[in-house]
Amino acid sequence: MTIKKDEAINKVMNDFEVLANLVLEQLDSLEEFFNSGEMIIPEDVVAKLIENEKHIDNLEVKLSDRIVNTIVLYQPVASEIRKIISCYRIITSLERIGDYAINLAEFMKSIKKQDVYEQLIDVISNMFFTASQMVKKSVISYTQQDRDLAIWTIKNDEAIDEMNQKMLKKVVSKSKNISESKKTLISFITIKEMVDNIERIADHATNIAEATFYFLDGKDIRHLDVPMET
């Protein structure tokens, strides 16, 4: 029983690694695109994003079933349960991050004004880089049981929120200017929606970091004002 249980848990973690790497690949592709300053995503990049998204969705379903079967069939001990339940929470967040990555690529099609995009690309790029780093470090915090990286991720969620608020003020200011063209306003609104999606990516990175705390300490810190000390 012990050998089979260990094998089952190892399969869960192996599949988790594949899923996590696919999501990180999505983020890397988008980060490279935003850093390029271009407004049109190359077709081959879009095709790869869509292909990876299908694999992510399939893996999420496969992993969810595998986790449930592992718990039911092999009755893991408390520490193993925490690891597996944390994994279950994390794969849900990873799947959602994958969805937001696709959304960002789709939003780019609605931006019609090059000058608007050029005004805000630095904000988008910096915000996306921070959110992407949060995801990467939160995943590492779980796989390497690194509490400090989990703390870093949770702390940086506030920085993302501040960036989003600054972007909102710019969009509201522009939307009140009746002299702006329809294409300009649509571009500003689309970029605001993009930034909202980036903020949600950061939120899910925070969820992953919180799942790491549950794995390590057996404490659910979601929705709690927990002091973070390194």
Q: Domain containing 148: what range?
A: 2-217
For residue 229, tell me if it sits in a domain: no
44 part of a folded domain: yes
Cα–Cα dist 24/21, whole Å:
5
Record the pTM: 0.90
- pLDDT tens digits, 128-155: 999 999 999 999 999 999 999 999 999 9
Residue 227 burial (10 A CB sphere; 0-12, 13-18, 19+): exposed
Residue 226 lies in a domain: no
The string of pLDDT tens digits covering residues 166-224 is 777 766 665 555 456 778 888 888 988 999 999 999 999 999 999 999 999 888 777 55
Q: Coil, strand, or helix at residue 115?
A: helix
Identify whether 151 is part of a domain: yes
Q: Is residue 16 part of a domain?
A: yes
In a domain, 225, yes or no: no
* pLDDT beyond 60 at 72: yes
Domain of 98, CATH number, reads 1.20.58.220
The model's pLDDT over 114-132, given as tens digits with 9 standing for 90+, comes to: 888 888 888 899 899 999 9
Burial class (CB in 10 A: 0-12, 13-18, 19+), 156: buried
| 180 is a domain residue | yes
Taking the CB of residue 78, how many other CB atoms lie within 10 A of it? Answer: 8
| Residue 223 forms part of a structural domain | no
- Domain tally, the chain: 1
